[in-house]
Amino acid sequence: DQQVKQNSPSLSVQEGRISILNCDYTNSMFDYFLWYKKYPAEGPTFLISISSIKDKNEDGRFTVFLNKSAKHLSLHIVPSQPGDSAVYFCAASAWGNEKLTFGTGTRLTIIP
Amino acid sequence: GAGVSQSPRYKVTKRGQDVALRCDPISGHVSLYWYRQALGQGPEFLTYFNYEAQQDKSGLPNDRFSAERPEGSISTLTIQRTEQRDSAMYRCASRSVTGTMNTEAFFGQGTRLTVV
């Protein structure tokens, strides 16, 4: 039972263009969502998060959008840079529950 | 320490042996989490601690898996009578506060366990 789904295993984007990574969830109790970025041989590192009371959160080149009715969130990176090439994991948690549920990840490749 | 430290980085063990994986969280971090990540998958929750108390162990696959954090700092994940299906990357994460996950967790580099 995959409660957090990232249906695109990989994505290639030209440098300078926008990268859009998508994530869907099924558990309506989830109220906090995070994106983690992972380079090879390293642990995941936190990138950006959003609470369910918001529909958008922006941090520099990174913006996360949340559509609660569709149970969908997306991460926008603009402009994309070669250093953004990594695996991106979407994760979610429910109020009062400290565990994170992760998606399977999307490998983003930025083409110079 | 500067980050979450896990040891060993790599562990190869024979089926049936016991293994102990260690996690040293960021100094002062209250919450400590164990995750398991199979190839091509996202991290899967195993268990977590607030201080020395194990709060949730619902993700532990079976009773061969156990974890402890006796002094509220370093934690050990023990797998008894290992099986080949236990092969995975085991990741530890820590957070500075308890409560819901509205703060980031910092992950270690993981321990790659291979059971042969």
The span from the CA of B14 to the CA of B99, in Å, is 39
pLDDT at B99: 59
Shortest Cα–Cα distance, B71 to chain A (Å) = 20
The span from the CA of A11 to the CA of A88, in Å, is 10
Cα B29 to Cα A35, B5, B23, distances in angstroms: 21, 13, 12
Q: Which of B30, B21, B113 is nearest to B67 (CA)?
A: B21
DSSP symbols for A84-100: G-EEEEEEEEETT----
The span from the CA of B65 to the CA of B18, in Å, is 10
Mean pLDDT of chain A: 95
Contacts of A99 in chain B (CB under 8 A): 33, 45, 48, 56, 59, 101
Write the CB contacts of B17 (distance below 8 Å, at least 6 apart in sequence).
B81, B82
Nearest CA in chain A to B103: A49
Interface residues from chain B to A (CB-CB < 8 Å): 4, 31, 33, 35, 40-45, 48, 50, 55-56, 59, 91, 93, 98-102, 104-110
pLDDT digit string (tens) for chain B, length 116 residues: 579 999 999 999 999 999 999 999 999 999 999 999 998 899 999 999 999 999 999 999 999 999 999 999 999 999 999 999 999 999 999 988 765 556 788 999 999 999 99
Shortest Cα–Cα distance, A112 to chain B (Å) = 25
Residue A99 and residue B33: Cβ atoms within 8 Å? Answer: yes
The span from the CA of B66 to the CA of A43, in Å, is 22
pLDDT at B98: 63
